[in-house]
Structure 1
Amino acid sequence: MTDTLQPAVHTPIPGPKSQAIHARRTAVVPAGIPWNLPVYIDRAVGAYLIDVDGNAFVDMGSGIGVTSIGHANQAVIDAVTEQIGRFTHTLFGILPYEGYVTVAEHLARTTPGTHPKKTLLVNSGSEAVENAVKIARKHTGRTGIAVLDHAFHGRTNLTITMNHKMTPYGLGFGPFASDVHHVPNSYPYRDRLSGVAAAHRAIDHIEQRIGASALAALIVEPIQGEGGFIVPADGYLPALQDWANANGVVFIADEIQSGMGRTGAWFASEHFGITPDIVLTAKAIAAGLPLAGVTGRAEIMDSVHVGGIGGTFGGNPVAVAAAAAVFDEIDRAGLLAEADRIGSRLRTGLDALQRRHPTVGEVRGIGAMQAFELTDPNTGLPLAGAAGTISRYAAGRGVILVTAGSDGNVVRLLPNFTTPDAEIDYTLEVLDAALADIAQGGNGR
């Protein structure tokens, strides 16, 4: 196991030191910032997180897909350390530097399509979405934005309007952004539609309720993240792209969670045969340093006037040094193949769990982006909140999981690409026990 570490829980979860820090937190940090478990992390290495009480956890969340190349990756540490010693800031829009250009070149190389591309670097996924919308509106001269049901795009005023769930992301924060329209997605497990039929439903909705001539952009997550790793039916995304291209609508792929090798390809769009006009990256691009990218067709990106995009910290020199190291590490260590290895092992194990546990309604995902949805075996209805129960159970046995789904009934697995088989197998054992506990009426304790 990673550096001789293994799952080890020595205290109640949370332990006494974590409880003490959590008490301090409640006095000075707003209650509106969520926490999955009040477990405070002291250090991390490889596939493991170690908390302040000395408990060691297999990290199956990677900070929601951020630390994909592994915790404490030495190449990233070296790149960041070297850059900090040179300079930490100039503001690229005033005094530029090579690192920003290098990352833009990497994104031009790895995002789908061979057409000329240009990249704007910003600080966060939400900021990337905001800028993509701005650019699409400027390019088309239109204002309408279409998003899919079960989508999640961020926590700014515009992006909470774009999200499927108003609670908790938008509750009480209005008035909301205008000209944002929600369109039926493809959810094969629930709607039972083919990709062609689901696309016809979505396009019909757009044409009747919005009008193609009013629409600047259609934004999709190729695999929906917060929505529960929903993988669309074959043909759905290509049909949407064809329609968007035919109607002058900018087709944007939000690959903030599904990109940067997570699915075994650089970007999940590749699995569906689509070439978006704009691709959004964040999360895993800089191994935990704040960075995000908006990469689009050159003619679309260049439609914005000088000074219309940019920002003080966007493309910070230290963050782009980390990002360049991430790209290099994925190539050098063959981590796309490692994501495939992890995905194959997880999928085999999760499929076996589905056969043993009737509450597992569906297993889905691609590469190191796997999930299972929990449903009532008698009614087929979502087991609302069940994912949280499994997450609590797993934490008590040394595994950190991430929940998802519009009903809180999806467990998503996002291990980093260096996670050994032994840790995958242990996680599957814990999930087996957790599902058995739920069947017996357990509450995750």
Structure 2
Amino acid sequence: MNRFRNLSRRYLSFFSCAVAFTFLLPILAPAQKISRYTCSSGKPKAGVVQLSASSLFTTDADGFDLHTAPSSFSNGSCASDKPFFFSASGPDGNYRVTLVLGGDAPATMTVRAESRRLLLMNQPIPASGSHTETFIVNVRTSTIHSESTTAEQVKLKPREIGALDWDNKLTLEFNGDHPSVRSITIEPVSKVPTIYLAGDSTVVDQDKEPWAAWGQMLPLFFSPAISIANHAESGETIRSFVGERRLAKIMSTIQPGDYLFVQFAHNDQKPGKGYVPAATEYKDLLKSYITQARAHGATPILVTSMNRRTFDAAGHITQTLGDYPATAREVAAEEHAALVDLNAMSKTLYEALGDAGTLHAFVHYPANTFPGQTEELKDDTHFNSYGAYELARCIVQSLRDQKNPLAAYLRKGMENFTPTHPDSLSAFSLPQSPLVSTETPYGR
């Protein structure tokens, strides 16, 4: 009888492990199929999909998406005088994307992925030339894979339903002056360090112009040896990020060697049921995020929230975030966690730009600047692409200055950045994405 019980326990243990492994398969073992697409004419090589004007994305086929397509297919290039999108189906995970860009005409190329994550900015390509770039793009869905037989879901906001950051496909935006591409290769990769971002509307991948946040600019500065998974969302507090199971989603895929950036405060301080006291609950939750990241073998990095655009009569930024930045600094010291003091760096940056200069870094536009915009946009919390880009440079420079291990993953050749000497607006140029909305993101 004892022998029978022991045998039964072994089979039950084996069955439990098998079930757990089955549900973890989407995380641990994504299909290793390499997808290749070409704009070359003639018979393509085996396993390569030839792209044409009829190559439109559906649930059964990869292709050009969002009602766009190149206008020219000649001499081995798909080209257009307008931006176009390409999508390929794929489950949660990281993908190595290799692009061979170029066409008949000279081009200046900008490439974004998913909800306007900046991958390549103003890359010149001569006529009849080609330029090869490789990136890592993170794809996710709202499903939380776990050992449970019932998969949980992230509680998405209405604006996230159908968003490119949460669907079952990898989407690329080809933009700039005469965007053109020769070939696209997409390969699932499982063993690549990943930077996870947890935060609010100042961090999120803002999917519509003219809004932008530093998280979606960050991929531009990192090499294809690392991935960036931006899970931040507009309107979030450090508490709601947990309640909506966004942190659980991160913890379901985060692995040893990964990183977790945490930045909250803008919404936590607001009166009402969403209020999170800085000295108690906010502090405790920061420590919880740190503990959970470390339990998975990942490295937590706290980021103090950047200032709002609020100047006093003397031209100095006023502190509108209460005790939250100080609490983050305190927790980082107590927990021996890395800290990026974006609050302090943004104060320096904004004061260097000045009251008038910062108008060009935040979403301040007169009426009729964008289609359907009948009223002035005047937002002192959210940034446009220029402002988000400058804040991302602050993040990167802080990692460099601290000799953080992540500095080893930065793209080579990047110049140092000093917040006291921001990039001039006249020297900054980034083509506008076709996706536009004048609706203010959640959170202020």
Question: Normalising by the residue count of structure 2, what TM-score does the alignment of the two structures yield?
Answer: 0.28
Q: Which is greater in Rg?
A: 2
Q: TM-score, normalised by structure 1?
A: 0.28
Tell which has more relative contact order, 1 or 2 (C-alpha 8 A, sep 6+): 1
- Structure having the higher strand fraction is 2
